[in-house]
Amino acid sequence: MTKWRIVVFLVSLLPLAAMVWGALHDRLGANPAEALSHESGSWALRFLLITLSITPLRRLTGWRKAVLLRRMLGLFSFFYACLHFLVWLWLDREFAWGGMLADIATRPYITVGFLSFLILIALALTSNMFSMRRLGLRWKGLHRLVYAAALLAILHFIWLVKADLMQPLIYLGVFVVLMLLRLPRKAVMRKPRRMVKKQVVA
């Protein structure tokens, strides 16, 4: 498992490496600040969905040790979310705190994005063994908020695009599939196939 952990850790750093390389070599296009914002945000969301795919993966393949990678993947989502927040605060809002707070309060897509980030902060802070022991049963309840964080992040994406909703809806589709795969097995089996498919599309 240690080997797996090292591999996943290094692979998870690749998006960061690509961003740093692009920035150093002026390969981020005409609007590099925007490119960094989009990249970091996309990777935060992707890692969140990858984290949420561990449980279905375990159920489908029986590879129980996969769960040992989950915390690291979740923390990578948090890491890229921090980058995304920093890019916004620094390059977009230029540390204008007043404008930043006004944005969070008045612009719905920023409000939900920020809420998602707050949840990730709480989950990251309590991701250690000490917190797990301290919180006991409440830990699980708290960490169920990860579903809300993912949904809010997708909503953040949906509300910020101008006209082409294709991309955020693909993320929403993946999220819905990951949720359906969590249904108790019997419940899924009892439903006719067509109905399940319909839900996926919705």
Binding mask 38-77 for other proteins (x = CB under 8 A): ----------------------------------------
Name the minimum Å distance from CB 97 to other proteins.
14
CA distance 188 to 181: 8
- Look up residue 23 and give its two tokens: 């920035």
Measure Cα distances from 85 to 16, 93, 104, 116, 181 in Å. Answer: 15, 10, 12, 11, 31
Name the minimum Å distance from CB 182 to other proteins.
32
- Look up residue 36 and give its two tokens: 């960094």
Query: Is residue 187 close enough to count as binding other proteins by CB under 8 A?
Result: no
The number of angstroms, rounded, from the C-alpha of 45 to the middle of its chain's C-alpha atoms is 3
Nearer to other proteins, 111 or 127 (CB): 111
* Position among 25, 64, 190, 194 found at the interface with other proteins (CB under 8 A): 25
CA distance 130 to 136: 10
Name the minimum Å distance from CB 164 to other proteins.
4
Which uninterrupted H or E stretch holds 79?
helix 67-87
* Position among 30, 129, 187, 201 found at the interface with other proteins (CB under 8 A): 30
Name the minimum Å distance from CB 76 to other proteins.
23
Count residues contacting other proteins (CB under 8 A)?
Answer: 24
Nearer to other proteins, 6 or 161 (CB): 161
* Position among 36, 54, 119, 120 found at the interface with other proteins (CB under 8 A): 36
CA distance 147 to 119: 10
- The DSSP annotation for 104-125 comes to HHH-HHHHHHHHHHHHHHHHHH
Handedness of CA 178, 151, 74, 28 (dihedral sign): positive
Which uninterrupted H or E stretch holds 91?
none
Nearer to other proteins, 163 or 201 (CB): 163
Q: Which of residues 95-124 bind other proteins (CB under 8 A)?
A: 99, 103, 107-109
**Residues in the chain, how many?**
202
Q: Which of residues 120-159 bind other proteins (CB under 8 A)?
A: 159
Enumerate binding residues for other proteins (CB under 8 A).
23, 25-26, 28-34, 36, 91, 94, 99, 103, 107-109, 159-160, 162-164, 166
